[in-house]
Structure 1
Amino acid sequence: MEFRSEYADVALVDLPIHEAVLGRAAEFGDRPALIDGLDGRTISYAELVLAVDRLAASFADSGVCKGDVLALISPNTIAFPVVFYAATRAGATVTTVHPLCTADELAKQLGDCDARWIVTVSPLLGQVREAAEKVGCVREIVVCDRAEGCRSVQDMIGFAGPAPDVCIDPARDLAALPYSSGTTGVPKGVMLTHRSIATNLAQLDELVPSRPGQVVLAVLPFFHIYGLTALMNAPLRRGATVVVLPRFDVGQFLSAIEKYQVNGVYVAPPIVLALAKHPAATGYDLSSLEYVVSAAAPLDAGLAAACARRLGLPPIMQGYGMTELSPCATIWPLSTVHNAPPGSVGRLVAGTELRIVSLDGDGRDLGAGEEGEIVLRGPQVMKGYLGRPDETAAMIDPAGWLRTGDIGSVDEQGWLYVVDRVKELIKYKGYQVAPAELEAVLLAHEAIADAAVVGVRDADGEEIPKAYVVRQVADSGVGTLSEGDVMEYVAGRVAPYKKVRRVEFVDSVPRAASGKLLRRELRHREREMERVLGREMEGRSG
């Protein structure tokens, strides 16, 4: 059975992303487009367009041209959108990078996509230079602020040359190249065309519309496809004001809502948890809020309700998607916020089709109320994985259906529920952590004979990486590696959000005869342990 969005199809948006977003900016003129939530600096729509055109001209004069890849590695700043749109205006594809990545991780991404240009901020310059030296393909590093030996975006915006006239094919040319692990394996470049990103914005119009004068708070990172779409492209396309914060801090977050009379907030479950439990998360005037949307990872319905009650918020909406979907597939329509079923991740956005496929391996389509793998099709589906045709074919079939690796069901009214994951990917605080990447790090340790990584739940219900480690037996016959040794070793080689947070030493990890790691057996073991502990706790409380 195929489920189809109840909303009318939208026309494909065949415009470059900078035109799709800023094409109406002249209508908004002196309205504030971007506000720095810490110091109040403001960029109007007129100033934003002028800055984008001048920076694009400077990029082009420097040699940036169509087909080049520009890496943008920065926390949220009001300069981030300027750089992103200027790069695409010059014909480049932007690969966004987590600012907490290590030099080795950055080098892998730069080398994989052959990035020729990097734009960053001065505090990250050390690791960026180290990574650039490792790969050798980078022509120039530019900073948004100031740093010795680097050109500054602030100065480049003063360039007086003409904006470049680049012929872009929205259906084929790439606007963004974020990295995702997909359903399994190591991070891969997700090829998102101008058309797929711009059309996904149009698909959201009827469900969560933005408007001129509306104020949206951007605390989720722009480098993540969720933040790039929900907090940058979507509101700027409709004349809203985006208040930018570099990171989540309970006090700063709530103070900004109160000070700037924020109407819309997009969050991830860890933020909902903090708002529900942090002692400082009370006493603020949040009456301006019209909606709160949570996505990037599953949100427990009870936690969502508790957070809304504590802070006097409207019901917390949910959405569902993935990088490979540009990213949105479902969301609660704003018009249904007070009667949407708790725990649902919403209804299909316009022009999107969905199937629930049997997990038995027979490819059979299931009906309403039955659980299986979620498979989606629509104009927002990625072009594919960069340089990985086999992984692309495994993800998208010839008819355009994309396998999500998630298990879910659809009720009779068309609401989607996500209940589990087929894929091996770990979602820690909304960020993707690839087990295979951590296993590669672990296996490089001379005292580790074998290792496997799975996601487990901590005391707060957050999914964290747990490593099963087989010690390499020393000459003395005893392996001396400790849990702390393992965690410290991994922490020194990966971004902080990827750290192993629990370690168990075992005699062996389960593998098939082919050598393939059987993570499902470890996940089953973890579930059994949780059940036993749960029964013991119930017995003690009784």
Structure 2
Amino acid sequence: MRVPLEATIGEEGIFDALIAARETFGDKEILEDQDRKPLTYTGLIRAAFVLGRKIAAMTALEERVGILLPSSMGVVVTFYGLHAHGRVPVMINFTAGERNIKAALAAAGVKKVLTARRFIQQAKLEELIADIETAAEIVWLDDVRATIGLQDKLYGLAAGMMPRRFRVKTDPSGPGVVLFTSGSFGAPKGVVLSQSNLVANCRQVAQHINLKPEWVMFNPLPTFHCFGLTGGVLLPLLQGMKAFQYPSPLHAKQIVELIPQVKASILFATDTFLNQYARVAGPDDFDSLQFVVAGAERVRDETHHLFNTRFHGLKLLEGYGATEAAPVVAVNHPDRNRPGSVGQILPGMEWRLDEVPGIAEGGRLYLRGPNVMEGYLSPEDPRKIEPLENGWHDTGDIVAIDDEGYIEILGRVKRFAKIGGEMVSLTAVEGLASAVWPDARHAVVSIPDSRKGEKLVLVTDRKDADVASMTEWAREHGAPELAVPKKILRVDDVPVLGTGKTDYVAIQQMAELDKAA
């Protein structure tokens, strides 16, 4: 099924879209971070040309260049600097660990990684950098900036006035960024999004929700995560909104203090982080916010409850996306917010549901549209892309979609267990645990069982969690007994990835190690 567009979304290049935004919205302040030295559109364009030319002198046209930086003005300038000179940014997840990072560099064919000493020192990543140096050359942007002289500044002035004459003309259908999937359920995959994929997704969101140029977007998410890159950087810049970048989503107290100071209008984050922010915020701290958008993981009932009771009138909009779709697929609307759903599919997208044997409700979601990637990086050859069959991306998610286009996520194909011949959604079991202990964090995995095929294991930070309480709740509310885990692992913290998503790979290992013990 196709969701119609109000107007055709054509192919646009990343840098040309930024230039067009300046022409549309005027030369206003558009980018800021915790250093509180904002840049205008022209300031950003000039800085991108100057830094980009320096990087271009040490790289080749169309070369893939690694970026290892936190959310900041620096990462945005570097990203656009590469595009101004026809290079391709590869966003490196610095929380992924040495093995995954080296695999990502090899998969993308990265020879140089751009980073900054201040960040590496503050984040205590010196050991990681030493490991990465065995796979790629580290380029310190501090040193690059120190070489900027008068001639470079004059070049930047001229380029800022006539950016289309100075920028390298690239094909909008060519690579816009290389990102890696989160690795929540296995090894991260390399995703090549075209320039037009990224721009199209921004246009789709803007058609779905009316975004006002006077608003400020507060982005605490890392730009190695597509939600942080598209939602937190590209979308606001292309729609005339100031994009405020904060380097770590973990700093709940500092973020809550900054939101009213910068007069933030929209906050993007995951459920994990929003729950933390809501707990430390006072009743007035979120007064400037028009709405909050949650994505990348299911929003718990407790998080909805926190926002509904502490911040009256502030809407928490749940959305759904995939790195492969640049990433926004669906999102609730401020005037059409349906809790329990992840909103309506964005305009311009096609979708289909394929039947899954053993699962009665919903189907496996496939997507196609202007925001959907061409394909994954080939594991054998960094220059090759494994194309999607007829342009359809298999999300691996089991969903139900109603007549109005609202999506309900029922679980991932990998997140179902077969117990005694019945298919049981692990996501639904997590929901059961959250209903019994709403103030705790839970994750459910399955392990082999000689008697029933598979056995459910609940990993929780609730210290007094017990099977009897879950069994009683299930009996009282008509939930099947199969959905009650017979094994509970109590932990201090349920593992999460740097993006805030639950780390099911680590949790699976915990459950299997416990079984072996």
TM-score band, normalised by shorter chain: 0.7 to 0.9
Asked whether the equivalents of residues 274 and 303 of structure 2 are also in contact (C-alpha less than 8 Å), the reply is yes
In the alignment, structure 1 residue 343 sits paired with structure 2 residue 340: yes
Q: Superposition RMSD on alpha carbons, in Å? A: 3.7
The residue number in structure 1 matching 2:67 is: 72
The residue number in structure 2 matching 1:378 is: 369
Query: Do the aligned partners of residues 27 and 401 (structure 1) sit closer, same or farther apart at CA in structure 2, a change above 3 Å counting?
Result: closer
**Residue 357 of structure 1, aligned match among 354, 368, 371:** 354
The residue number in structure 2 matching 1:294 is: 294
- Give the superposition deviation at 1:159: 5.3
The residue number in structure 2 matching 1:152 is: 145
In the alignment, structure 1 residue 17 sits paired with structure 2 residue 10: no
The secondary structure found in structure 1 opposite 2:10 is coil
More moved, 259-268 vs 116-125:
116-125
Counterparts of 1:394 and 1:375, CA distance in 2: 19
In the alignment, structure 1 residue 116 sits paired with structure 2 residue 107: no
The residue number in structure 1 matching 2:410 is: 419
Counterparts of 1:151 and 1:325, CA distance in 2: 34
- Give the superposition deviation at 1:358: 1.2
Counterparts of 2:267 and 2:169, CA distance in 1: 36
Runs (5+) with no aligned partner, structure 2: 160-165, 417-429, 477-517
Residue identity in the other structure for 2:66: A
Residue identity in the other structure for 2:340: G
What's the TM-score, normalizing by structure 1?
A: 0.72
The residue number in structure 1 matching 2:224 is: 223
Counterparts of 1:394 and 1:169, CA distance in 2: 17
- Give the superposition deviation at 1:355: 1.8
CA-to-aligned-CA distance 1:316-362 (integer Å, 9 cap, x gap): 111111001111111113342xxx32211011111112222211189
Query: Do the aligned partners of residues 342 and 538 (structure 1) sit closer, same or farther apart at CA in structure 2, a change above 3 Å counting?
Result: closer
Counterparts of 1:154 and 1:332, CA distance in 2: 47
Q: How many residues align?
A: 438
The secondary structure found in structure 2 opposite 1:112 is helix
Query: Do the aligned partners of residues 419 and 152 (structure 1) sit closer, same or farther apart at CA in structure 2, a change above 3 Å counting?
Result: same
Counterparts of 2:362 and 2:221, CA distance in 1: 31
Runs (5+) with no aligned partner, structure 1: 426-453, 469-508, 512-519
In the alignment, structure 1 residue 86 sits paired with structure 2 residue 81: yes
Counterparts of 1:538 and 1:345, CA distance in 2: 26
Query: Do the aligned partners of residues 187 and 217 (structure 1) sit closer, same or farther apart at CA in structure 2, a change above 3 Å counting?
Result: same
The residue number in structure 2 matching 1:235 is: 236
Query: Do the aligned partners of residues 534 and 47 (structure 1) sit closer, same or farther apart at CA in structure 2, a change above 3 Å counting?
Result: same
More moved, 379-388 vs 206-215:
206-215
Counterparts of 1:528 and 1:234, CA distance in 2: 36
In the alignment, structure 1 residue 54 sits paired with structure 2 residue 50: yes
Query: Do the aligned partners of residues 20 and 510 (structure 1) sit closer, same or farther apart at CA in structure 2, a change above 3 Å counting?
Result: farther
The secondary structure found in structure 2 opposite 1:246 is coil
Query: Do the aligned partners of residues 314 and 120 (structure 1) sit closer, same or farther apart at CA in structure 2, a change above 3 Å counting?
Result: same
Query: Do the aligned partners of residues 120 and 273 (structure 1) sit closer, same or farther apart at CA in structure 2, a change above 3 Å counting?
Result: same
- Give the superposition deviation at 1:24: 2.4
Query: Do the aligned partners of residues 356 and 182 (structure 1) sit closer, same or farther apart at CA in structure 2, a change above 3 Å counting?
Result: farther
What's the TM-score, normalizing by structure 2?
A: 0.75
Detail structure 1 runs of 4+ shifted over 6 Å in the superposition. 393-396, 456-459, 465-468, 527-531
Query: Do the aligned partners of residues 160 and 398 (structure 1) sit closer, same or farther apart at CA in structure 2, a change above 3 Å counting?
Result: same
More moved, 65-74 vs 18-27:
18-27
In the alignment, structure 1 residue 314 sits paired with structure 2 residue 332: no
The residue number in structure 2 matching 1:199 is: 200
Counterparts of residues 519-534 of structure 1 (less than 5 Å) = 522=454, 524-526=455-457, 532-534=467-469
Counterparts of residues 487-506 of structure 1 (less than 5 Å) = none
The secondary structure found in structure 2 opposite 1:210 is coil
Asked whether the equivalents of residues 331 and 345 of structure 2 are also in contact (C-alpha less than 8 Å), the reply is yes
